Amino acid sequence: MDFAADFFALFELPRAFRLDLSELDARYREIQAQVHPDRFAHAGEAERRLSMQWATRANEAYQTLKKPLERAKYLLHLAGRDLQAESNTAMPVDFLMEQMEWREAVAEARSGGDHHELEHLHNRLRGDIAGRYDELSQLLDEAGDIETAADRVRRLMFLEKLLHEIDDALASLDE
């Protein structure tokens, strides 16, 4: 194993957005079985520290690759594309208007305690997000269109945040 390898190489997976998650899980378990600190409990200090570093790196890589948004951000990073997510918040007006409408609908359903409407919004948004991930997959894996992919990732960051807000609203109504 090469500690400096990118996350895909660490798991011996192709550098692509579309991943076989069961293969990722299997490779992660294999690496963890090799480097888990428990296996090095009676080893010297240097070996224990190295084992901990490997286990931490494998866990970071796994957490990044198993989540589609994080995987896409990582692929853009590997392609040398910085999203500048904190400083670059410019979005097309139609997208921002759509976000405002979604947020108003969520706020209205939340304040009205409308669990059914929140579930409906959640399902609609999950469908929208799934379609956007399909598009992102095509942009990254087939077209190699890094610029458009970066724009789509920034949009997905907004949508994923909105999905979490809906989940939080549902959870608050369940309490």
* Residue 18 predicted with pLDDT over 70: yes
Residue 111 inside a domain? The answer is yes
Average pLDDT of every residue of the chain: 92
Which range marks the domain in which residue 152 is found?
93-174
Among 39-48, 75-84, 150-159, the range with the most confident prediction by mean pLDDT is 150-159
- 59-86: buried (b, 16+ CB within 10 Å) or exposed (e) per residue? eebbebbeebbebbbbbbeeeeeebeee
Counted domains in the chain: 2
Q: Domain holding 123: CATH number? A: 1.20.1280.20
Residue 110 inside a domain? The answer is yes
pLDDT in tens, 118-135: 999 999 999 999 999 999
Is the full-model pTM beyond 0.85?
A: yes
